[in-house]
Amino acid sequence: MSKQVFKTEKAPAPIGPYNQAVRGGNLLFISGQVAIIPATGELITTDIKSETHQVMKNLDAILSEAKLTFEHVVKTTIFLSDMSLFVEMNEVYGSYFTGDYPARETVAVKGLPKGVNVEISMIAVVGM
């Protein structure tokens, strides 16, 4: 099985030795995204709602590069700096889906890259 790498300038460039997304077979694996505005490199950490919106915009840009949408997403993993942020993050996150929600887990972790409060990764199915 071959793999196909996806990159777009409409999402933040990787900050390490990984790709924004890799397709293997009919699955697209999107690396965890944080709230960096791609055009400026500015990091949004003012509030969890704004931060989550930017993360979802970055994920949407990567999905679009692969010619997919949130409807193709079958699994997400959400990392939070504190579970007290869950309700507000969840409200924003849920607004990006139309009802057929993906499987998901949400965990609180001790720290996230660049001191952010939320990081989200996704797995999408190609050809749905």
pLDDT digit string, tens, across residues 30-79? 999 999 999 999 999 999 999 999 999 999 999 999 999 999 999 999 99
pTM, 2 dp:
0.95
Structural domain for 18, as ranges:
3-125
CA–CA separation, 100 and 72 (whole Å): 10
CA–CA separation, 35 and 55 (whole Å): 5
Q: For residue 32, give the nearest of 57, 55, 4 by alpha carbon.
A: 55
We report the CATH number of the domain holding residue 68 as: 3.30.1330.40
User: What are the distances in angstroms from CA 107 to CA 26, 41, 79, 85, 119?
Assistant: 27, 26, 5, 11, 10
Token output for 105: 């887990």
Structural domains counted in the chain: 1
